């Protein structure tokens, strides 16, 4: 009996040891599961450890700035507003702008100065386009000040276009003007030649006599805009400056729209927009001055300012002042 009891005790001890080992192994197995990453996150963890940042938030690329300032300002006049381009910035986006569908914004900064006495009314979203190096034409997505409506406009402004930041600014062109207007193409590079878009003036001091008054064409100048408007497609403005002396015995009454014309080649044009030539020139009045703008075909160089013989002007006989610009 004593031997049987000892044997039974040995069996019980072995069973207890086996159960304890299993419990210990089970505990460690469960602990390992709790501490290990789930299978759904395994790929992300491996990507992070391998240095792959495809799933991380990208760091914004620095803003790249290209100055457009050179020995002469990169400036032009649109609708009697002088626009001077200052610089071009390239970035993935700007905090004060609109984030484009694809990363990349081209921001053109410029200065606006009123160059006339009459307010211009236009929207930059209508009149500005960016021509990329491959010839693609893109419309703007936003601007600091999108419209011009004030004759006293003098301010800093910018306009944004969607475009890759890898593109070369020096191979881009800013196109100004709608499809119905005489368009200007401004290369985005310092010291670019934009002389063709600058006003050109000639001093003339040519005289004629009309209805007993002495009329002097003192000067004429070519501009791409006048009276707050840009020239129509294929056309350009010629503005004539006149001085009038009335040494006759009677007052002169007449509107330049009725008696003045400008002939350029085969095209004869009436005054365009407002004129400042006086409607009444009193007898004895000398040194009366005024200007009159005409739309003529681009490329014209030979002109004739015509004073018409018209029933609305008493005693009028046609007179002409030829000139060149």
CA–CA separation, 291 and 240 (whole Å): 6
SS3 49: helix
CB 227 within 8 A of CB 293: yes
State the pLDDT at residue 206. 98
Ranges of each domain in the chain: 64-196, 200-324
CB-based contact 285:255 (threshold 8 Å):
no
Q: Which residues pair with 67 in a beta bridge?
A: 87
The pLDDT value recorded for residue 14 is 44
Helices (H), the chain: 2-35, 42-49, 124-127, 256-259
DSSP three-state, residue 46 = helix
Given this model, what pLDDT does residue 28 score? 46
Yes or no: is domain 200-324 CATH 2.60.40.4170?
yes
- pTM (2 decimals)? 0.77
Strand 74-78, strand 81-91: pairing: antiparallel
CATH topology match: 64-196 vs 200-324: yes
Q: Residue 115 has what pLDDT?
A: 78
Q: How far apart are the first and last CA of the chain?
A: 140
Q: Exposed, middle or buried by CB within 10 Å (0-12, 13-18, 19+), for 295?
A: buried
8 A C-beta contact, residue 136 and residue 173: no
Quote the tokens at residue 173: 């062109």
CATH class of the domain comprising 64-196: mainly beta
Q: pLDDT digit of tens for each residue in the chain (325 aa)?
A: 444 444 444 444 444 444 444 444 444 443 444 443 333 333 333 333 333 333 333 335 688 999 999 999 999 999 999 999 999 999 888 887 777 667 799 999 999 998 777 778 899 999 999 999 999 999 999 999 888 767 666 899 999 999 999 999 999 999 999 999 999 999 999 999 999 999 999 999 999 999 999 999 999 999 999 999 999 999 999 999 999 999 999 999 999 999 999 999 999 999 998 899 999 999 999 999 999 999 999 999 999 999 999 998 988 999 999 999 9
């Amino acid at each position: 009996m004593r031997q049987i009891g000892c044997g039974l005790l040995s069996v019980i001890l072995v069973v207890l040891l086996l159960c304890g080992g299993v419990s210990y192994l089970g505990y460690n197995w469960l602990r390992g599961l709790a501490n290990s990453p789930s299978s759904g996150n395994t790929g992300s963890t491996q990507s992070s450890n391998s240095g792959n940042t495809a799933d991380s938030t990208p760091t914004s690329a620095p803003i790249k700035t290209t100055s457009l300032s050179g020995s002469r300002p990169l400036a032009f006049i649109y609708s009697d507003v002088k626009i001077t381009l200052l610089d071009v910035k390239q970035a993935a986006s700007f905090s004060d702008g609109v984030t484009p569908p694809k990363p990349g914004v081209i921001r053109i900064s410029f200065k606006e100065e009123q160059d006339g006495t009459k307010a211009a009314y236009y929207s930059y979203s209508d009149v500005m386009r960016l021509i990329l190096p491959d010839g693609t034409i893109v419309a703007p997505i936003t601007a600091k000040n999108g419209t011009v409506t004030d004759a006293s406009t003098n301010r800093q402004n910018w306009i944004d276009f969607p475009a890759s930041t890898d593109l070369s600014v020096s191979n881009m062109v800013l196109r100004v003007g709608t499809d119905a207007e005489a368009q200007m193409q401004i290369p985005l590079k310092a010291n670019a030649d934009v002389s063709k878009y600058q006003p050109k003036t000639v001093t003339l001091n040519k005289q004629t006599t009309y209805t007993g008054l002495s009329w002097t064409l003192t000067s004429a100048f070519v501009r791409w805009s006048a009276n707050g408007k840009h020239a129509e497609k294929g056309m350009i403005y010629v503005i004539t400056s006149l001085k009038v002396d009335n040494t006759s015995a009677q007052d002169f009454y007449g509107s330049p729209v009725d008696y003045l014309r400008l002939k350029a080649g085969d095209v004869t044009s009436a005054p365009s927009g407002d004129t400042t030539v006086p409607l009444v020139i009193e007898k004895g009045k000398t040194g009366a001055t005024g200007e009159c703008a005409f739309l003529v075909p681009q490329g014209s160089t030979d002109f004739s300012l015509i004073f018409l013989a018209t029933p609305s002007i008493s005693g009028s006989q046609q007179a002409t002042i030829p000139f060149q610009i």
